[in-house]
Amino acid sequence: MTDSKYFTTTKKGEIFELKAELNSDKKEKKKEAVKKVIASMTVGKDVSALFPDVVNCMQTDNLELKKLVYLYLMNYAKSQPDMAIMAVNTFVKDCEDPNPLIRALAVRTMGCIRVDKITEYLCEPLRKCLKDEDPYVRKTAAVCVAKLHDINAQLVEDQGFLDTLKDLISDSNPMVVANAVAALSEIAESHPSSNLLDLNPQSINKLLTALNECTEWGQIFILDCLANYMPKDDREAQSICERVTPRLSHANSAVVLSAVKVLMKFMEMLSKDLDYYGTLLKKLAPPLVTLLSAEPELQYVALRNINLIVQKRPEILKHEMKVFFVKYNDPIYVKLEKLDIMIRLASQANIAQVLAELKEYATEVDVDFVRKAVRAIGRCAIKVEQSAERCVSTLLDLIQTKVNYVVQEAIVVIKDIFRKYPNKYESVIATLCENLDSLDEPEARAAMIWIVGEYAERIDNADELLESFLEGFHDESTQVQLQLLTAIVKLFLKKPTETQELVQQVLSLATQDSDNPDLRDRGYIYWRLLSTDPVAAKEVVLAEKPLISEETDLIEPTLLDELICYIGTLASVYHKPPSAFVEGSRGVVHKSLPPRTGSSESAESPDAAPSAGQAAEQPAVIPAQGDLLGDLLNLDLGPPVSGPPLAASSVQMGAVDLLGGGLDSLLRSDVGGSPAMGGSGFTAPGPAAPAAMGAPLGSGLGDLFDLTGGVGTLSGSYVAPKTVWLPAMKAKGLEISGTFSRQVGSICMDLVLTNKALQVMSDFAIQFNRNSFGLAPAAPLQVHAPLAPNQSVEISLPLNTVGSVMKMDPLNNLQVAVKNNIDVFYFSTLYPLHILFVEDGKMERQMFLATWKDIPNENEAQFQIKDCSLNADAVSSKLQGSNIFTIAKRNVEGQDMLYQSLKLTNGIWVLAELRIQPSNPSFTDLELSLKCRAPEVSQYVYQAYDAILKN
């Protein structure tokens, strides 16, 4: 008696026969027939033709039959919307049934019928069920709201179901609370801006209570919801942590990981000196380790998350190295993840064990795994200096095995070891050279060529070796070609006498026979360097290289912080923020860790305040041209463990040195020489620019200058507070914020440079694109010491207005390029126009009258300055502080009229008439008329007025 009998068919045609059975009088036969229909449906057979016959069976007392019919309905209602209406009556009736099971079943099924037409019929029954006396019905109804929202969001909002749902968060039954939270979370995901889950301490308390009593799945929903809450202080954070900690012992791993997320996030707010902080750290380790004894699929997700946790707080798992040792029958995806974490946990204390393991792995069968293990040995050497020697000898042992891919990987990592410890392990070069012929992968060939070029003076036959590569120059990949070019130039500079022919050969190959612009450009650069000044060439090409950093493959701190907020989600598996991969433009809200209270650590990262407003105000960043320059400067010695920032540091430094301070001239020639480039590369996206304007003008710091302005001295004009111009995420960890000021006749750009990357930054330089008023740095950017990670430096950069002029749109747009040892970054910002108002902008009265009449009326522009309740004297003294001078004051019909003048740095005069109504307190708007021969500046002058007067 199994269900497989339902699959047997007869010759006559299945559908026909089923139809007859469904219309049979016998209950039993009917039920059997419906079962057959369901069975066909499960295997994907189309039985939609039976729709009316099945729906006819719906009105029955038999619960099983009812359920079966419902199953069918859910599947096919969409394809038969007109027929589905037939079912509505039964649903409405069932929602009144005395049996809560039937009521719940009806409301559940209703929501699954995804037919727009019938949704409106469902509102009344749903409303009733949301208030049902039985919690089982309420919790089912809560989910139904989410279903309905998916079909018709507007309807749900209009009917006020969202509010009812919010009320259910305070329900007395924990299961109802959990389902309400789950439904709200799902709805909120499609409406990121709606404050559906606006939590306050009271609702948090409700959730925490429900957390202890609801099902495991409900706990997951509640914990995920809690993680979005921002506690108001560290005490609240601690009390939430205390109540969440017991979830770490739950048997369901998803509950455990969601709890870990809440703890990791709120821990950020706790002071490190707190005893509780230490306790919490200790409590986190065991549950994480336990996740690794679960099924491999769970292990994989757990490992991806542990990878993040270990980067954020390595202290949690530092004693648990052994649990990450690989078992030979682990699935490959688990093996690779374990290996990654082993390297992260490697330290002087455990390096011996780790190395022994890695050596073991290097003899396994799986090629990908073996390769990664070999690379891991190299990473150990770079990370733990004491182990370097042992690592090198292990690598040499592996090279002796002559297994092709092992040898190639080993050579790639040995190159990195040479970079990290120069002049220490060169004795192994001979062994490496023996394996030259077996290298067939570009990366390994490039690494070997780099080694030969770098140590050309110690390798007797370096020229022969490199020459042998040159034979097949055009068949090599770009990486190898570029490397070969550089290596031969190095060789030439070291042994000029014997290798002149070789270098000429490679330069002509690169510049004349190659189609690759990168290769050609680099060839020309070398060629000119060598032909104009060989000594300088030597200094540049053979310059001492900066050391490479210890940690590799680390996630950028800003991204890591964001990912920590996504522990347990798909984002944590992919190590990308959801905005990077979630389909559609759902406008994912960026999450960020809460700032630590009561400690001086840098709490003001740009995205620490997750207000949507701030996000919109972020200035425009221009990435396009940076890539181009980056390519040009790149030496293409792709390091094996390529995290983007490291790739830059280990490789490009030489390249930046190569061009030395020449960047400025390079930039200038680029911009000047090709207007097309200046146009396309430097144009800021339109909508972002005005948004940036709001920030410098909008907030209050100017009060400070009120006083001085009132006295009427020439001390300085209004300065807007600093805003972030270049967020760290867009500039490989460099964050720039700043503002503009004018003090005693000189313009300054006040900058704060913050290093949010993991490596030291140095060699800063700044350059402006041509702009409307010829603003240019009057002195180079002076950053005296290299900028260490997490440090920031304040700089006041004096500006002059003698640079070249190009009209920008908007007029006050300024495009800036900043260079450091990592890369070149671009951003654009808007400067307030009043920094250009000069001190001698006071016009003679007669002159004013004459000019006012002289300027045609169509050049006059009218503006309103809203909500300014200052009187005429306060206004004029405030404006004088920013070099807007009052020439005359009149009183006409109870209104004060101020006549003012100002002059821009480029000699343009602007005349103003300002109308103030002091007698009428309810009318606080000022009316401003501006007259100027260049009317396009009027708007910006008005903005300056507005900013000065409101601060």
Partner 1 sequence: MIHSLFLINCSGDIFLEKHWKSVVSQSVCDYFFEAQEKAIDVENVPPVISTPLHYLISIYRDKIFFVSVIQTEVPPLFVIEFLHRVADTFQDYFGECSETAIKDNVVIVYELLEEMLDNGFPLATESNILKELIKPPTILRSVVNSITGSSNVGDTLPTGQLSNIPWRRAGVKYTNNEAYFDVIEEIDAIIDKSGSTVFAEIQGVIDSCIKLSGMPDLSLSFMNPRLLDDVSFHPCIRFKRWESERVLSFIPPDGNFRLISYRVSSQNLVAIPVYVKHLISFKENSSSGRFDVTIGPKQNMGKTVEGVVMTVHMPKAVLNMNLTATQGSYTFDPVTKVLAWDVGKITPQKLPNLKGIVNLQSGAPKPEENPSLNIQFKIQQLAISGLKVNRLDMYGEKYKPFKGVKYITKAGKFQVRT
Q: Which stretch binds partner 1 (CB under 8 A): 284-292, 439-447, 516-524, 771-779?
A: 284-292
Backbone angles phi, psi at 228, to 5 degrees: -85, -5
Q: Is 208 in the site for partner 1 (CB under 8 A)?
A: no
The rounded distance, in Å, linking the Cα atoms of 699 and 920 is: 26
Site for partner 1 in 308-367 (CB under 8 A): 319-320, 322-323, 325, 327-329, 331-333, 353, 356-357, 360, 363-365
Q: Using the rule CB under 8 A, which residue among 302, 306, 462, 797 binds partner 1?
A: 302
The rounded distance, in Å, linking the Cα atoms of 839 and 901 is: 11
Site for partner 1 in 157-176 (CB under 8 A): 173-175
Q: Which stretch binds partner 1 (CB under 8 A): 247-255, 494-502, 724-732, 913-921?
A: 247-255
* CB neighbour class for 550 (10 Å; exposed up to 12, middle 13-18, buried from 19): middle
Q: Given the structure tokens 């449906």, which residue do they identify?
A: 41
Angle (deg, nearest 10), helices 332-345 and 367-383? 10
CB of 205 to partner 1, least distance (A): 18
Q: Using the rule CB under 8 A, which residue among 125, 568, 696, 716 binds partner 1?
A: 568
Q: Is 227 in the site for partner 1 (CB under 8 A)?
A: no
Q: Is 458 in the site for partner 1 (CB under 8 A)?
A: no
Print the binding letters for residues 65-104 with partner 1: x by CB under 8 A, - otherwise.
x-xx--x---x--x--------------------xxx--x
Residue nearer to partner 1 on the CB measure, 192 or 679? 192
Residue nearer to partner 1 on the CB measure, 108 or 522? 108
Residue nearer to partner 1 on the CB measure, 5 or 474? 5
Q: Is 408 in the site for partner 1 (CB under 8 A)?
A: no
Q: Is 301 in the site for partner 1 (CB under 8 A)?
A: yes
Size of the site for partner 1 (CB under 8 A): 108
Backbone angles phi, psi at 828, to 5 degrees: -130, 150
Total residues found in the chain within this entry:
951
Contact (CB, 8 A) for 456 and 493: no
Q: Using the rule CB under 8 A, which residue among 27, 93, 232, 235 binds partner 1?
A: 27
Other residues' Cβ atoms within 10 Å of the Cβ of residue 515: 7
Residue nearer to partner 1 on the CB measure, 220 or 414? 220
The rounded distance, in Å, linking the Cα atoms of 860 and 852 is: 10
Other residues' Cβ atoms within 10 Å of the Cβ of residue 659: 18
CB of 52 to partner 1, least distance (A): 20
Residue nearer to partner 1 on the CB measure, 147 or 494? 147
Q: Is 764 in the site for partner 1 (CB under 8 A)?
A: no
Q: Is 781 in the site for partner 1 (CB under 8 A)?
A: no
Site for partner 1 in 728-747 (CB under 8 A): none
Using alpha carbons, select from 458, 452, 457, 455 the residue that is nearest to residue 483.
452
Q: Is 143 in the site for partner 1 (CB under 8 A)?
A: yes
Contact (CB, 8 A) for 731 and 904: no
Q: Is 155 in the site for partner 1 (CB under 8 A)?
A: no
Residue nearer to partner 1 on the CB measure, 264 or 648? 264
Q: Is 39 in the site for partner 1 (CB under 8 A)?
A: yes
Residue nearer to partner 1 on the CB measure, 413 or 571? 571
Q: Please list the residues that pair with 911 across neighbouring strands.
A: 901, 931
Backbone angles phi, psi at 455, to 5 degrees: -110, 30
Q: Is 517 in the site for partner 1 (CB under 8 A)?
A: no
Residue nearer to partner 1 on the CB measure, 324 or 827? 324
Using alpha carbons, select from 27, 35, 28 the residue that is nearest to residue 3.
35
CB of 46 to partner 1, least distance (A): 11
CB of 375 to partner 1, least distance (A): 18
CB of 300 to partner 1, least distance (A): 5
Cα dihedral value 331, 335, 337, 338, nearest 10: 130
Q: Is 189 in the site for partner 1 (CB under 8 A)?
A: yes
Contact (CB, 8 A) for 726 and 814: no
Q: Is 300 in the site for partner 1 (CB under 8 A)?
A: yes
Q: Residue 745, SS3? A: coil
CB of 275 to partner 1, least distance (A): 17
The rounded distance, in Å, linking the Cα atoms of 696 and 685 is: 19
Cβ neighbours of residue 447 closer than 8 Å, sequence gap 6 or more:
411, 412, 414, 415, 637, 640
Q: Using the rule CB under 8 A, which residue among 226, 403, 510, 651 binds partner 1?
A: 403
Q: Using the rule CB under 8 A, which residue among 192, 296, 517, 685 binds partner 1?
A: 296
CB of 89 to partner 1, least distance (A): 21
CB of 103 to partner 1, least distance (A): 10
* CB neighbour class for 404 (10 Å; exposed up to 12, middle 13-18, buried from 19): middle
* CA pseudo-torsion sign 594, 600, 606, 611: positive
Q: Is 42 in the site for partner 1 (CB under 8 A)?
A: yes
The rounded distance, in Å, linking the Cα atoms of 903 and 842 is: 8
